[in-house]
Homo-oligomer: A and B are copies of this chain.
């Protein structure tokens, strides 16, 4: 029997593994660890990296929190009173070089005393500058993971990411998406251990995917215009996380540890009034790709 404690323990190992791999790839920065207790029950282990060779600011957070389900969550899920247990790993990396993309991953397990159990998670990429080769690589890796578990996963979860990471008020996606899935419940077609095996596969693939993109792009030169654009894109990232992200909202609603929840915010971001990149620029090239429904596996410039 796969228990919530088994899942939490594996997530902790995943956190260790990912931190090691990111430190190796960054070569300079080292994670700082903070452990914390949650008043209602449980706690977490936040690991923060800053001012690295490649990573400007990032976090790899583990938590396992439990207790009576907060009213706001019960209301949102339309559930009766019950205890909950939630465990997961959350990652956001903001690189120094604008040519290296921002990445986010989350894997999580949620269960309630009324028998509810589900897995959720995903990985999505936010390049400051879209590169079709990288986008294809990224989506192909995610498709490979998905295909090992269910033939429909990639298509479903890719679309879910397009819909989820959409900044409605800007009418643009946060980045080039990836996969997103929530409330995957054990049932006839997929057992709990099969679902967990999928989530584990997602988690294990984070480090190889991102360290490849770090290595490949860290050497690309950049200057003031690229830094300016990076700060604008980070502003959009902050907008998404503060206005729309359900994980952030869940954290604030359950009175989670604020510094761990908001580690996702960029080290520096900017907002210009009505900023419009030059037509034909690389910035405006990127904007045309921040849309839902792009088939990244076969995207070529000619297709746009």
* B239 in contact with A259 (CB, 8 Å): no
Q: Nearest B residue to A251 by beta-carbon distance? A: B169
When A267-B272, A270-B268, A273-B263 are in contact, do A252 and B243 touch as well, CB less than 8 Å?
Answer: yes
What CA separation (Å) do A235 and B269 show in the bound complex?
A: 9
What CA separation (Å) do A239 and B235 show in the bound complex?
A: 12
A203 interface residue, CB < 8 Å from B? Answer: no
* B258 in contact with A34 (CB, 8 Å): no
Distance to closest chain B CB from A104 (angstroms): 15
Query: Count of A residues near B, CB < 8 Å?
Result: 30
A231 interface residue, CB < 8 Å from B? Answer: yes
Contact of A271 among B231, B267, B273 (CB under 8 A): B267
Distance to closest chain B CB from A80 (angstroms): 24
What CA separation (Å) do A63 and B271 show in the bound complex?
A: 21
Q: Which residues of chain B have C-beta atoms less than 8 A from A266's C-beta?
A: 270-271
A57 interface residue, CB < 8 Å from B? Answer: yes
Distance to closest chain B CB from A214 (angstroms): 20
Contact of A170 among B235, B258, B271 (CB under 8 A): B258
A59 interface residue, CB < 8 Å from B? Answer: yes
* B169 in contact with A258 (CB, 8 Å): yes
What CA separation (Å) do A239 and B266 show in the bound complex?
A: 12
| Residues of chain A in range 182-225 having any CB-CB distance to chain B below 8 Å | none
Binding site for B on A (CB under 8 A): 34, 48, 50, 57, 59, 168-170, 231, 235, 238-239, 242-243, 252, 258-259, 261-263, 265-274
Listed by A's residue number, 9 A-B pairs whose Cβ atoms lie within 8 Å are A50-B273, A57-B272, A57-B273, A169-B261, A170-B258, A238-B242, A265-B271, A266-B270, A269-B271
